Structure 1
Amino acid sequence: MDNETFRDWSRRAADWGADYRAGLRDRPVRPAIAPGEIFRSIEASPPETPEPMEKIFADFEEKIVPGMTHWQHPRFFAYFPANAAPVSVVAEYLVSAMAAQCMLWQTSPAATELETRIVDWMRQALGLPEGFSGVIQDSASSATLAAVLTMRERALGWQGNKKGLAGQGRLRVYSSDQVHTSIDRAI
């Protein structure tokens, strides 16, 4: 894809996204499909030659979108809303356009320093004391895992990572059967 084609499809994708949001209320919250229906609609073998973007985009609209649960739908009350405020979508596009790898300072200094500043803004907004810090987790699953690992280390006197878990005291986690699936995965 050359730069002009990239520009054109980026605009078309943005227009599609705006139209999608404008008509979201008219879509069903969840698709009325059977398991495997989307899978069977996708060709069993990869294409032998590149397909034009028109075909790829048509497949997206005809095969993928009808099989999606619309998390931003005004009648979606399961789990939690996705982080897809319009400003977030635009920000994600910018991050994706740069193919930013924001895992640590060396891979993206600006992202790390922005996160550090935003966490401090959050501290101030919540009235937490100076010096209180943390990181922004990308999902409930990673946040839960970080919390569980912190609880484990605290319960083991901060020695679980240093000495290993073999021979340590037995640990328990109590929760109801109504917890988020991330709890089971983290444990």
Structure 2
Amino acid sequence: MDYRSSLRDRPVRPAIAPGDIFRSIEESPPETAEPMEKIFADFETKIVPEMTHWQHPRFFAYFPANAAPVSVVAEYLVSAMAAQCMLWQTSPAATELETRIVDWMRQALGLPEGFSGVIQDSASSATLAAVLT
């Protein structure tokens, strides 16, 4: 499956009713391990077509998702390490990388030296930080 190249041709939202996907999944867990080919085939036939496609060019609801190709690669690298990037102590390299990237963004926007910030993980936490500030 080449999800990104087929995205434009998919409907933004599936034409399904609540419970349709639930009923398409086996009622009991498998007794033995399933081959990855079957797992991926189920994913491509039962899950992907029935999702709301946040990266679709005609999706204009909520907040835009962060699945640009570069974000997908970065997320893969982080999840491969199971990194918890909350504090410097939990992930020193991630914290310092974020600090450098924020400074690059400052430079790209033409903001003055000394202007700094942090990257929030969601609109909710960004709103909370703004309210507290």
TM range (shorter): 0.7 to 0.9
SS at match of 1:106: coil
SS at match of 1:123: helix
Gaps of 5+ in 1: 1-18, 151-187
Q: What's the counterpart of residue 109 of structure 1?
A: 92
SS at match of 1:120: helix
Q: Which has the higher contact order (CA 8 A, sep 6+)?
A: 2
Residues 1:69 and 2:34 are matched in the alignment: no
In the TM superposition, what whole-angstrom CA distance separates every residue of 1:93-134 from its partner, at most 9, and x where no partner exists? 222222222121122211100001111222233333333322
**Structure 2 CA distance for partners of 1:135 and 1:50, relative to 1, 3 Å:** same
State the 1:83 CA deviation: 1.3
SS at match of 1:107: coil
Instruction: Report the RMSD for the aligned CA atoms in angstroms.
Output: 1.8
**Structure 2 CA distance for partners of 1:39 and 1:145, relative to 1, 3 Å:** farther
TM-score normalised to structure 2 length: 0.86
SS at match of 1:21: helix
State the 1:43 CA deviation: 2.6
**Structure 2 CA distance for partners of 1:145 and 1:46, relative to 1, 3 Å:** farther
In the TM superposition, what whole-angstrom CA distance separates every residue of 1:43-81 from its partner, at most 9, and x where no partner exists? 333333322212211111111111111111112122232
Distance across 2 between alignment mates of 1:43 and 1:133: 51
TM-score normalised to structure 1 length: 0.63
Name the % identity. 95
Distance across 1 between alignment mates of 2:26 and 2:131: 42
Q: What's the counterpart of residue 92 of structure 1?
A: 75
Gaps of 5+ in 2: none
Higher helix share: 1
State the 1:25 CA deviation: 1.0
Distance across 2 between alignment mates of 1:49 and 1:107: 37
Distance across 1 between alignment mates of 2:114 and 2:29: 53
